[in-house]
């Protein structure tokens, strides 16, 4: 038998009740706050992990904000470029229309005036802003107006920089496109070379041409074709021949080639055709493609349309047709460049959307893990609370009974 | 014969009175701490020899003893001191645990806000409101670091008060024990073998209370006095002599107090390792093993964040087109001379790489020839050789001439990191969101090659800019990269490049000059030109902001093993784990104390039922003895009534 001292009975009962009260309080706090971990000491590993996951979750949410920002800017550029595409198509239609043989010089001047309006409109679109005064197509210099008219035509005053935005933990997406890439760096001609007539008097119209097989050694040299028309014998047609000269190296490639309208002309890896009847002394040149801005293309068209055509004896509308052809080719090139940019923007928007789905799922997972780590399991906690309550009541009631027992009560 | 009856009855009544008095004493002291129940010792008086045999002479009260078990009492002392230690440590560390666990009080939330705002700047670098938001969040982060540090410092200050109170208690108890020793010695000597039970209980109780402050060893002397020893055997009480403890400034760290032992006018600083158990031991352990490391860890995080952001901001270009500057003030390491240094050397320390910092303090020692560095968290010793400066764990230490063998210096690289962090600018333009240079393809380029915008190289650079040491002097000089014919090589022209020619072209490989790096990818055409130049008007550039924002998830701390958030969660986890451990062990220890005390009380404690029974017993004994006296009286009366 163990002797129990009276103070032990009191002390141990009080301690037991205190401990039970402390547990009850802890459970009640958990229920009241909804958190299983009240301080890190409750579950240090889970608490530390919860902090890390909270950060991951918050970062993931931030990427959503970033994606929205990127989507916003890309969409703005996309709609600006949509406007540009429509505009260039209008210009193209007008240019095709201007080739109508029945039009007079004054008819063409009206078209030129329309194109001038289009050019201003295009300038406005190229100088689009994001609504907060930041230019969309000026590269890194978002407060610098990228395009403005100078004596030498419309110039680009931005740079080639693209802004990237962090759209996921490991991925950045370009939200902007440089105006240089969209409006300026457009190769003229067929992308390899440009065919142009000289100050001709004949009716020769030259095609855009293409690279022949085998392809030329790059870079291309400059070439010149000069026509010689020898009057034929009476009753027979005139004999037209042409010489080909490499003007870069000043070497004659071939001479006295027989000319047939529409027949392919091919040398040094380039190939094109000339239709119509070149006059004696007419020349055509072949030069490597260079970059031509969409503004210059339209300005050139306007200039051509404003130039009166010479009388039929001096070639008539042949130069106009040649210039319109070249302009149409360049407009197509510009459309190509813009639609390439638009395609890239579409891909970026798609990517943002798919990252959004992934990010949402990731966020859901983070929240589930967090909840698992931190949140109280109500069923468990309530059952614990009930149990602890019962224990405490039992301790209190039994203490009240036991502490009443004393021999002194009977003395 | 009749007188014998009286004598025996009187001794019986006497004994019963003693018994009743002792029982009442027990009842009165039933809840007196440290009281041991007492018992009257009875023995029969020596019988008187008569012709017919030995006739009893009644009862003799030979003494009053306390029911006491030395072994159990010692055990209670041992368990009690450990319980006090664990309870105090737990109560103290729970303050930090509560502080760090509070989601709105921790730095995680504000750091997240800071980096979210940095992403906002990356999304809209030209927007002043988004920059303003960033500065607001930076200020909030700074405030949070400072306020956490302040609260830890408050805890430390409170702790100094507690240590002081504990030392006072110890000294008071020591004096009281010494005084009791004097009384006990005197009573023991004059008591003819009887012990002053209640004084002994009082002394035991005082030793018990002393023991709750500090772990003691008690030796009972034959003259009744008790000698009390603390630490590694320093006598605190010897007979009537009480020695004392004193708080002194630490010899190695002037910002800290140590405990010194004062005896005979001499003061000896006690090793912290020898001051174990009890509240005092807990306060010292908590201060050195939990509080300071927590403050250092917080400081390391603040330093790491501030320095990393500063360095990256310096590599960028602000909204005004100027090179970036520090955004945060960073704390310098704390250096302290050892109090016993005899040399005149001064030590300086500077942080060189925040990524390699630990949360520990360090001690630099000089042995006359060589320097060595002790990392105090794990006592790892690194020999630094005979010359300084040397770099260790992310900081460089240097010393002036005049060190003498035996000199020590304390270095706390991160201690004030959280206290001294501050935001250095209120100008939103100063956030260097862009890069100072940009690379661009010429509009006339015909090839399909593109050039990356470029990044500024991490320091050190080949020719640092004297006015801006992290970047290259020629960083913003215009440089051209021109492709040759055939375009398989290129020429570079520009100040600082050395104008190399015919550099072979590998698509996508790094091209680095003047402290920047760009990549050209794709097929260039001959004659294509790529220009690198100052990023004039580059207000829409977010290259540096992206790098700044990306620092949140980069493992920039703890030798590249953790990011900022993880460092904080490690701190929370470490403090939480220690608190949890102490919670469990202190509860277990409390239960052990309860059991040990119960065992001790089972022997020495007062049971009121038992005392009630004793009361009845002694009452009955008294009544019986009185009855015997009455019988003797009536016998005597009967005798007197006989008329011869």
User: What CA–CA distance (Å, rounded) separates B623 from A240?
Assistant: 164
Pairing outcome for strands A264-267 and A270-275: antiparallel
DSSP state of B317: B
pLDDT in tens, B260-316: 998 888 888 888 778 888 999 999 999 989 999 999 999 999 999 999 999 999 999
pLDDT band at B46 (very low <50, low <70, confident <90, very high): confident
Cα–Cα distances (Å) from B110 to A58, B130, B144, B418, B426, in that order, read 12, 16, 7, 14, 18
CA atoms within 13 A on the CB side of B48: 10
User: B552 vs A54: CB contact, 8 Å cut-off?
Assistant: no
Which residues of B are less than 8 Å from A165 in CB distance? 122-123, 542, 546
- Min Cα distance A48 → chain B (Å) is 5
User: What CA–CA distance (Å, rounded) separates A54 from A369?
Assistant: 10
- Per the CB < 8 A criterion, the answer to whether B530 and B520 are in contact is yes
Q: What share of chain B is helix, strand, coil (3-state, %, to 5)?
A: 45, 25, 30
Measured between CB atoms, which of A3, A38, A161 is closest to B438? A161
pLDDT band at B463 (very low <50, low <70, confident <90, very high): confident
User: A55 vs B565: CB contact, 8 Å cut-off?
Assistant: yes
User: What CA–CA distance (Å, rounded) separates A176 from A164?
Assistant: 7
Pairing outcome for strands A270-275 and A210-211: antiparallel
Instruction: Please enumerate in sequence order all residues whose Cβ is within 8 A of that of B517, keeping only pairs 6 or more positions apart, or say none.
Output: B454, B455, B457, B510, B511
pLDDT of residue A148: 93
pLDDT of residue A114: 94
User: A3 vs B605: CB contact, 8 Å cut-off?
Assistant: yes
Partners of A265 in beta bridges? A272
Rounded to 5 degrees, φ, ψ at A255 are: -130, 155
User: What CA–CA distance (Å, rounded) separates B246 from B250?
Assistant: 12
- Min Cα distance A340 → chain B (Å) is 14
pLDDT band at B502 (very low <50, low <70, confident <90, very high): very high
- A contact test, residue of B123, B485, B530 with most A CBs within 10 A: B123
pLDDT band at B131 (very low <50, low <70, confident <90, very high): very high
- Considering just the CA atoms, what is the radius of gyration of chain A in Å? 42
User: What CA–CA distance (Å, rounded) separates B241 from B239?
Assistant: 6
pLDDT of residue A313: 78
Cα–Cα distances (Å) from B569 to A46, A79, B573, in that order, read 10, 46, 6
pLDDT in tens, B541-560: 999 999 999 999 999 998 99
- Percent of chain B scoring above 90 in pLDDT: 71
A residues 108-147 closer than 8 Å to B (CB)? 132, 134-135, 138-144
Chain length of chain A = 411
User: What CA–CA distance (Å, rounded) separates A177 from A161?
Assistant: 8
Among chain A residues, CA nearest to B579: A41
Measured between CB atoms, which of B106, B539, B612 is closest to A143? B539
Instruction: Give yes or no for A402 touching B (CB within 8 A).
Output: no
User: B108 vs A54: CB contact, 8 Å cut-off?
Assistant: yes
Residue A156: is its pLDDT beyond 90?
yes
Cα–Cα distances (Å) from A341 to A39, A159, A181, A411, B524, in that order, read 54, 17, 8, 106, 20
pLDDT in tens, A245-264: 999 999 999 998 999 899 99
- Min Cα distance B371 → chain A (Å) is 39
ipTM over 0.90: no
User: A51 vs B568: CB contact, 8 Å cut-off?
Assistant: yes
**Lowest mean pLDDT segment, chosen from A90-99, A388-397, B186-195, B524-533:** B186-195
User: What CA–CA distance (Å, rounded) separates B60 from B42?
Assistant: 6
User: What CA–CA distance (Å, rounded) separates A91 from A117?
Assistant: 10
Q: Judging by beta carbons within 10 Å of its beta carbon (0-12, 13-18, 19+), is residue B541 exposed, middle or buried?
A: buried
- Min Cα distance B467 → chain A (Å) is 26
Cα–Cα distances (Å) from A346 to A67, A82, A335, in that order, read 14, 12, 16
- Per the CB < 8 A criterion, the answer to whether A404 and A43 are in contact is no
Q: Of B264 and B322, which is predicted with more confidence?
A: B322
Q: What separation, in Å, do the N-terminal and C-terminal C-alpha atoms of chain A show? A: 25
Which residues of A are less than 8 Å from B587 in CB distance? 19
pLDDT band at B183 (very low <50, low <70, confident <90, very high): very high
Instruction: Give yes or no for A217 touching B (CB within 8 A).
Output: no
Dihedral of CA atoms B162, B166, B172, B174 in degrees, nearest 10, equals -170
- Residue linked to tokens 């010897």: B238
pLDDT of residue B250: 83
A residues 6-45 closer than 8 Å to B (CB)? 6-8, 10-12, 15, 19, 37-45
pLDDT band at B3 (very low <50, low <70, confident <90, very high): low
Measured between CB atoms, which of B566, B580, B608 is closest to A52? B566
Q: Mean pLDDT across the stretch B427-432?
A: 94
- Per the CB < 8 A criterion, the answer to whether A202 and A278 are in contact is yes
pLDDT in tens, B509-538: 999 999 999 999 999 998 999 999 999 999
The secondary structure element, H or E, covering residue A23 is: helix A6-33
User: B601 vs A7: CB contact, 8 Å cut-off?
Assistant: yes
pLDDT of residue A238: 85
User: A162 vs B453: CB contact, 8 Å cut-off?
Assistant: yes
pLDDT in tens, B186-195: 988 887 778 8
Helix (H, G, I), strand (E, B) or coil at A236: coil
- A contact test, residue of B114, B550, B576 with most A CBs within 10 A: B576
pLDDT band at B357 (very low <50, low <70, confident <90, very high): very high
Measured between CB atoms, which of A37, A160, A407 is closest to B613? A407
Residue B480: is its pLDDT beyond 90?
yes
Token representation of residue B502: 């015919």
Q: Mean pLDDT across the stretch B475-492?
A: 93
Instruction: Give yes or no for A166 touching B (CB within 8 A).
Output: yes
pLDDT of residue A380: 92
A residues 266-325 closer than 8 Å to B (CB)? 288-291
Which residues of B are less than 8 Å from A411 in CB distance? 612, 615-616
Q: Mean pLDDT across the stretch A301-326?
A: 88
The secondary structure element, H or E, covering residue B141 is: helix B128-190
User: What CA–CA distance (Å, rounded) separates B292 from B283?
Assistant: 12
pLDDT of residue B102: 78
User: What CA–CA distance (Å, rounded) separates B353 from B335?
Assistant: 18
User: What CA–CA distance (Å, rounded) separates B185 from A249?
Assistant: 127
pLDDT in tens, A161-188: 899 999 998 899 999 999 999 999 999 9
DSSP state of A407: G
Residue A345: is its pLDDT beyond 60?
yes
List helix spans (H) across A171-218.
179
Helix (H, G, I), strand (E, B) or coil at A33: helix
pLDDT of residue B644: 66
Q: Mean pLDDT across the stretch A123-132?
A: 91
Mean pLDDT of chain B: 91
- Per the CB < 8 A criterion, the answer to whether B500 and B428 are in contact is no
Residue B244: is its pLDDT beyond 80?
yes
Cα–Cα distances (Å) from B262 to B9, B178, B211, B450, B639, in that order, read 60, 16, 19, 80, 77
Helix (H, G, I), strand (E, B) or coil at A247: coil
């Amino acid at each position: 038998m163990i002797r129990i001292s009276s103070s032990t009975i009191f002390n141990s009962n009080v301690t037991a009740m205190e401990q039970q009260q402390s547990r009850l309080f802890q459970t009640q706090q958990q229920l009241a706050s909804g958190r299983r971990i009240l301080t890190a000491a409750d579950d240090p590993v889970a608490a530390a992990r919860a902090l890390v996951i909270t950060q991951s979750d918050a970062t993931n949410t931030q990427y959503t904000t970033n994606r929205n920002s990127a989507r916003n800017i890309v969409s703005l550029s996309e709609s600006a470029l949509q406007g540009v595409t429509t505009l260039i198509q209008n210009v193209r239609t007008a240019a095709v229309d201007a080739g109508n043989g029945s039009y007079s010089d004054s008819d063409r001047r009206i078209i030129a005036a329309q194109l001038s309006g289009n050019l201003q409109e295009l300038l406005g679109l190229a100088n689009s802003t994001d609504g907060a005064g930041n230019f969309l197509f000026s590269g890194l210099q978002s407060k610098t107006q990228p395009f403005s008219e100078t004596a030498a035509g419309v110039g680009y005053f931005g740079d080639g920089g693209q802004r990237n935005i962090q759209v996921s933990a490991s991925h950045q997406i370009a939200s902007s496109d440089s105006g240089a890439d969209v409006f300026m760096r457009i190769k003229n001609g067929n992308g390899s070379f440009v065919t142009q007539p000289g100050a001709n008097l004949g009716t020769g119209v030259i095609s855009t041409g293409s690279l022949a097989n085998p392809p030329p050694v790059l870079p291309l040299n400059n070439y010149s074709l000069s026509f010689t028309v020898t009057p034929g014998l009476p009753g027979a047609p005139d004999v037209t021949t042409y010489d080909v000269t490499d003007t870069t190296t000043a070497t004659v490639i071939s001479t006295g080639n027989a000319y047939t309208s529409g027949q392919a002309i091919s040398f040094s890896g380039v190939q094109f055709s000339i239709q119509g009847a070149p006059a004696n002394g007419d020349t055509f040149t072949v030069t490597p493609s260079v970059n031509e801005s969409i503004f210059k293309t339209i300005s050139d068209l306007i200039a051509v349309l404003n130039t009166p055509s010479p009388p039929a004896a001096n070639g008539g509308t042949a130069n106009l047709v040649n210039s319109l052809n070249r302009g149409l080719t360049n407009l197509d090139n510009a459309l190509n460049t813009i639609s390439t940019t638009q395609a890239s923007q579409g891909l970026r928007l798609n990517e943002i959307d798919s990252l959004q789905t992934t990010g949402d799922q990731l966020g859901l997972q983070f929240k589930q893990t967090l909840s698992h780590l931190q949140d109280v399991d109500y069923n468990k906690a309530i059952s614990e609370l009930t149990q602890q309550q019962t224990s405490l009541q039992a301790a209190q009631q039994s203490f009240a009974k036991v502490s009443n027992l004393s021999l002194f009560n009977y003395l | 014969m009749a007188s014998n009856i009286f004598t025996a009855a009187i001794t019986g009544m006497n004994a019963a009175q003693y018994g009743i008095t002792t029982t009442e004493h027990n009842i009165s002291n039933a809840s007196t701490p440290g009281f041991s129940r007492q018992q009257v010792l009875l023995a029969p008086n020596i019988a008187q020899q008569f012709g017919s045999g030995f006739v009893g002479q009644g009862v003799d009260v030979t003494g009053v003893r306390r029911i006491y078990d030395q072994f159990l009492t010692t055990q209670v002392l041992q368990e009690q001191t450990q319980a006090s230690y664990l309870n105090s440590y737990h109560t103290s560390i729970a303050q930090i645990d509560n502080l760090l666990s509070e989601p709105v009080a921790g730095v995680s939330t504000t750091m997240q806000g800071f980096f979210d705002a940095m992403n906002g700047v990356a999304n809209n670098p030209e927007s002043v409101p988004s920059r303003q938001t960033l500065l607001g969040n930076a200020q909030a982060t700074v405030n949070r670091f400072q306020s956490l540090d302040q609260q830890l410092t408050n805890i430390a200050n409170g702790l100094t008060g507690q240590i002081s109170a504990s030392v006072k208690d110890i000294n008071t108890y020591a004096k009281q024990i010494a005084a009791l020793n004097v009384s006990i010695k005197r009573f023991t000597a004059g008591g003819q073998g009887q012990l002053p039970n209640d004084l002994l209980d009082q002394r035991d109780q005082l030793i018990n209370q002393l023991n709750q402050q500090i772990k003691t060893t008690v030796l009972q002397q034959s003259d009744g006095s008790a000698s009390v020893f603390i630490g590694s055997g320093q006598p605190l009480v010897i007979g009537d002599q009480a020695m004392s403890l004193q708080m002194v400034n630490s010899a190695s760290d002037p910002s800290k107090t140590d405990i010194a032992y004062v005896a005979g006018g001499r003061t000896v600083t006690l090793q912290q390792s020898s001051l174990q158990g009890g509240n005092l031991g807990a306060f010292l352990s908590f201060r050195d093993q939990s509080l300071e490391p927590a403050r250092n860890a917080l400081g390391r995080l603040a330093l790491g964040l501030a320095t990393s952001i500063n360095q990256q901001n310096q590599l960028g270009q602000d909204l005004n087109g100027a090179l970036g500057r520090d955004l945060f003030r960073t704390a310098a390491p704390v250096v302290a001379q050892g109090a016993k240094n005899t040399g005149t050397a001064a030590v300086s320390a500077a942080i060189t790489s925040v990524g390699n910092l630990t949360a520990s303090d360090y001690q630099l020692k000089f042995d006359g020839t060589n320097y060595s560095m002790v990392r105090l968290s794990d006592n790892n010793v690194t020999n630094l050789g005979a010359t300084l400066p040397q770099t260790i764990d992310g900081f460089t230490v240097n010393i002036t001439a005049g060190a003498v063998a035996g000199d020590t210096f304390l270095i706390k690289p991160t201690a004030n990191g959280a206290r001294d962090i501050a935001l250095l600018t209120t100008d939103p333009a100063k956030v260097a969101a862009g890069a100072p240079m940009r690379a661009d393809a010429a509009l006339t380029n015909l090839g399909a090659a593109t050039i990356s915008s470029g990044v500024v190289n991490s320091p050190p650079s080949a020719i640092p800019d004297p006015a801006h040491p992290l970047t290259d002097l020629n960083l913003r000089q215009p440089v051209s990269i021109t492709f040759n014919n055939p375009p398989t090589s290129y020429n570079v022209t520009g100040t600082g490049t050395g104008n190399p020619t015919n550099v072979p072209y590998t698509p996508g490989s790094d091209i680095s000059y003047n402290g920047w790096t760009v990549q050209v990818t794709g097929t260039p055409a001959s004659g294509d030109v790529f220009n690198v130049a100052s990023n004039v008007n580059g207000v829409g550039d977010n290259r540096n902001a992206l790098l700044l924002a990306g620092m949140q998830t980069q493992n920039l701390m703890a030798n590249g093993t953790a990011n900022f958030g993880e460092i904080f969660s490690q701190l929370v986890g470490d403090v939480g784990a220690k608190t949890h451990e102490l919670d469990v062990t202190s509860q277990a220890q409390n239960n052990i104390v309860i059991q040990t005390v119960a065992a001790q009380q089972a022997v020495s404690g007062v049971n009121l039922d038992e005392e009630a029974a004793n009361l009845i017993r002694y009452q009955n004994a008294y009544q019986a003895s009185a009855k015997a006296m009455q019988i003797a009286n009536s016998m005597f009366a009967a005798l007197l009534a006989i008329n011869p």
